[in-house]
Homo-oligomer: A and B are copies of this chain.
């Protein structure tokens, strides 16, 4: 029961269709969770059956009809319970780390390539998150915004996303450099 609460959290800020949620939980903007469309549609169905969210049909002319969902009182209560419960620790789980772990034993070239590709992807996300943050806080500076604004949840999670991507980018570039230099100096193997 994990995606469940992420969906409720995302729906707290308004009505969204499964499709819209899917976009938010996919590339980039997934600043606090990630999931595929199929998972979201399935989770929404379950949540609706349990009365934690409710949907309403919206008939569209130029587009397929859609269903917009919002959190019910029961859903809000569920979220409150969740927020008070102990959270499970978060672990890193990343293909690239496994590859780096063995890079010096089994050929560094392909790993270096991937590190640099990753760094570029991280860079793109950094820019995206930077834009989102600026958008959210408007004219105010950050301190000011965090003190006064009504709604800061999304800003705070986005900050974590930004820091994560910066750390990721820095590490990727550093490791790529280290491996590259060893390639030329160690020459052999």
Contact = CB atoms under 8 A, between A and B. Distances in A.
A175 B147 contact: no
Interface in A105-149: 105-107, 110-111, 114, 118, 121, 146-147
A64 interface: no
Kindly report how many copies of this chain are found in the complex they form together. Answer: 2
B152 A34 contact: no
By DSSP majority rule, is chain A's interface helix, strand, loop, or mixed? helix
A26 to B, nearest CB: 10
A110 to B, nearest CB: 4
Nearest to A174: B159
A178 interface: yes
B105 A153 contact: yes
Categorize the interface residue count of chain A.
Answer: 35 or more
Given A32-B92, A163-B170, A83 B99 contact: yes
A147 B34 contact: no
A89 B153 CA distance: 25
A83 to B, nearest CB: 5
B104 A157 contact: no
A96 interface: yes
Nearest to A178: B146
Given A89-B121, A94-B90, A167-B163, A76 B106 contact: yes
Interface stretch (A5-13, A15-23, A38-46, A48-56): A5-13
Interface of A: 2, 5-6, 8-10, 12, 30-34, 76, 79-80, 82-84, 86-107, 110-111, 114, 118, 121, 146-147, 150-154, 156-157, 159-161, 163-164, 166-168, 170-171, 174-175, 178, 181-182, 185
